[in-house]
Amino acid sequence: MKFDEFVVGFDGPEEEFAAEWAKKKHEDTYAIRKSTLNPYWVHPDNVAKLAKAYGGTKEEIIAAIAHDTIEDTNTTYNEIKTLFGKKVADLVKEVTNNNDEILKVGKEKYMSDKLLHLSDSALFVKLCDMLHNGKDYPTAEQAERMYKNLLYIKDRREMPGKIKILYNDVLSYLELYIASNKSL
């Protein structure tokens, strides 16, 4: 089974609504994932399925579905807040990249600092995003950058319960991915 066919359903009508809403938002941009040529909406859908599989709360799952909408579509914080509540909107805003800051300090430093300071719920969503990005055939440079970002926070922040398990899974997956690409 291909990873994009990862089968975990959504439990509630809010999650189903969020998945359809995010799909429409991303379809309106006609975006395609370069690595797989899948429609872009497949990525947030799979990130949300990972969030569910790792025991995410309803808000974390919905934030995972919506995690790229502010960054990549015409979605606003207020739209997410109106549809899904302040907690989900705050999580999406927290994981949204600040492109001006990335240009100023560089992607690796920006992401390392961001991961260090995210709330636990936002880190959980971001780690689900990183795990799917890692399984979505990143370039060697992207995989190594994600790996370095994760190593940076390893001993610098607390990671309770499901976050620590997810963190270790992402780190292990990236280690294997990087090693297997170096042996080619």
Per the annotation, the verdict on 72 as an active-site residue is yes
| DSSP per-residue string spanning the chain | --GGG------SHHHHHHHHHHHHHHHTTT-B-TTT--BTTHHHHHHHHHHHHTT--HHHHHHHHHTTHHHHSS--HHHHHHHH-HHHHHHHHHHS--HHHHHHH-HHHHHHHHHHHS-HHHHHHHHHHHHHHHHS---HHHHHHHHHHHHHHTTTS---HHHHHHHHHHHHHHHHHHHHHHT-
Residue from 20, 27, 28, 71 carrying the catalytic annotation? 71
Residue from 4, 72, 79, 120 carrying the catalytic annotation? 72
Q: Which residues are catalytic?
A: 71-72
